Structure 1
Amino acid sequence: MDPKRLLDQFLGQGAGGKAGDMMAKAKDALGKSGMGGMGGGLAAGGMLGLLLGSKKVRKMAGGVVGYGGAAALGALAYRAYENWQAGKKANEAPAAIPSDAPPVGSKFLPNGNQDAGGRPFELSLVLAMIGAANADGHIGSDEQRAIFDQASKMGLDAEDKAFVFDALGKPPSLDDIARMAQGPEQAAELWLASRLAIDPDEAVERAYLDALAHKLKLPADLTAHLERQIQVA
């Protein structure tokens, strides 16, 4: 299993030479369905987009994928955390840029860290997104079939597929996700990944994000900084 590759492909990045074709087809299909736009097209490029597709394509999920896939999660979380530590106001905080690579040795991606249980942190982020996508209590059979088909096209190995489908069959709970965090940096990135897989305008999903922040012991002003980075990504 290659955890980084799996996370990249979950977000729609890392599809090799076929990435442009995949995104073009997704944008065309979403445009015809009335859910077009660059955000929708990019979000549909990976397995996360398939989880979101039967609900409402989240524009910011696509924006982050376009920004750099899995590497963007670390850059955005790192910038939000740095701005928060510096005492900046969230609504005025500077946005992350592609060169905002977290320093070597930090707990943010792309550093190859483990979560609190010793698992590669990239896998924890995949689990967090699956848990958030299931915030309304149901990941449907249509989504699961679509993800199965997409995983086959992406060439995921048997171990990768087993990991994803085990998680889809039994999505992690809020407590499960909270236990993954090794320190506040990983907690921030877990919340950010969850936010990408959720529609905060829906009451149930906003309540999920609030409950997750509480479980992860994240201050409200830190989650505001994380939200800010998503909005300006």
Structure 2
Amino acid sequence: MLDPKKLLDDLLGSQVPGTGSTVRDKAGQAVQMAKDNPLAAGALAAVLLGTGAGRQVTGAAVKLGGLAAIGGLAYKAYQNYKNGSAPAEAQTAGEPELLPPPTDTSFHPSQAPQGEDAFTLTLVRAMISAAKADGHIDDGERQKIAGKLSLAGIGPDAEKFLMSELETPLDLDTLIAGAQTDAQKLELYTASRLTIDPDTRAERGYLDLLAGRLGLPDALVDHVEATVSAAKVPASDKAAGKTAKAASKTAPNSRW
């Protein structure tokens, strides 16, 4: 049976409960066996992204688990936006403090009106849609991904779900409908931004379109950009040259 929360943890390389390793470690071993197409990082998201992964989430988010990490990042961005901080202030030296969203806010998973599992699958679909944004996942790439997913050891149900999503045409209306609250809309965008670093026009265009369809204010999007950039580090020396694209707008008071 598919476990949505475990799959989301796998995608972000979160700690596997009861073990001393992460899925990122397992996928890293898989990469060694797939020398014909080495990946920039070992997280399962890198399998979806191919060599474009570039950066990965830092330890604070990994330790929280995928659902709490996305909610925590979205909540942190929202708080900075509401407080009128400049987005650049969210980027601090070293790993930023990241906490789960408070239980009494709509960012906490327990507050999901459609249920945690249903919304978790929406976040996974958002990440997969973002991974497909630059159009590099064609039939040949999907075959390579299928082999690497098997090596990653995520289980047949998760493999089947991911491959089905990769083969399904983008349906932005359905994806957006999966976010039922303002907080969930922000989390959906945050998950998408976590998946990719918009280094191409196609990726940047997809994120801009998504933000627009979700009705997110530009200044709030800028805070997500800054917060996510601060939570990601180069995945390899090759990726060290990539710089985070911090925004410079000052946030007005929140409408939420």
Measured against the shorter chain, the TM-score band is: 0.7 to 0.9
Q: Write the distance in 1 (CA, Å) between the matches of 2:156 and 2:108.
A: 23
Q: 1:64-119 deviations in whole A, cap 9, x for unaligned?
A: 47731513212111100111122222112376513x21111433355473559x96
Q: Write the distance in 2 (CA, Å) between the matches of 1:135 and 1:92.
A: 29
Preserved CA contact (<8 Å) 1:12 1:65:
no
Preserved CA contact (<8 Å) 1:64 1:230:
no
Cα distance change, pair 134–219 in 1 and its aligned pair in 2 (3 A)? same
Question: What's 2:5 paired with?
Answer: 4
Cα distance change, pair 21–133 in 1 and its aligned pair in 2 (3 A)? closer
Question: What's 1:67 paired with?
Answer: 61
Which residue, 105, 122, 125 being the options, matches 2:123? 125
Aligned AA (1:22): K
Preserved CA contact (<8 Å) 1:132 1:198:
yes
CA RMSD, 1 decimal? 3.3
TM-score, structure 1 length as denominator?
Answer: 0.78
Q: Write the distance in 2 (CA, Å) between the matches of 1:147 and 1:76.
A: 28
Q: Tell me which moved more, 199-208 or 13-22.
A: 13-22
Preserved CA contact (<8 Å) 1:52 1:58:
no
Question: What's 1:149 paired with?
Answer: 147
Question: What's 1:58 paired with?
Answer: 54
Q: Tell me which moved more, 78-87 or 145-154.
A: 145-154
Q: Write the distance in 1 (CA, Å) between the matches of 2:30 and 2:230.
A: 23
The DSSP-based 3-state class of the residue aligned with 2:134 is coil
Count residues in correspondence.
Answer: 220
The DSSP-based 3-state class of the residue aligned with 1:172 is coil
Q: Write the distance in 2 (CA, Å) between the matches of 1:144 and 1:191.
A: 24
The CA deviation at 1:210 is 0.7
Q: Write the distance in 1 (CA, Å) between the matches of 2:86 and 2:129.
A: 30
- Written as runs of structure 1 = structure 2, the 5 A alignment for 1:4-83 is 4-15=5-16, 16-19=19-22, 21-22=25-26, 25=29, 40-41=40-41, 44-46=42-44, 48-54=45-51, 56-59=52-55, 62-64=56-58, 67-68=61-62, 69-70=65-66, 71-83=68-80
- Written as runs of structure 1 = structure 2, the 5 A alignment for 1:204-223 is 204-223=202-221
The DSSP-based 3-state class of the residue aligned with 2:57 is helix
Alignment gaps of 5+ in structure 2: 232-256
Question: What's 1:87 paired with?
Answer: 84
The CA deviation at 1:18 is 4.7
Question: What's 1:103 paired with?
Answer: 102
TM-score, structure 2 length as denominator?
Answer: 0.72
Q: Write the distance in 1 (CA, Å) between the matches of 2:46 and 2:4.
A: 19
Pair 1:190 & 2:194 matched? no
Preserved CA contact (<8 Å) 1:65 1:72:
no
Question: What's 2:163 paired with?
Answer: 165
Cα distance change, pair 29–150 in 1 and its aligned pair in 2 (3 A)? closer
Q: Write the distance in 1 (CA, Å) between the matches of 2:229 and 2:89.
A: 12
The CA deviation at 1:6 is 1.0
Preserved CA contact (<8 Å) 1:114 1:120:
no
Alignment gaps of 5+ in structure 1: none
Preserved CA contact (<8 Å) 1:115 1:181:
no
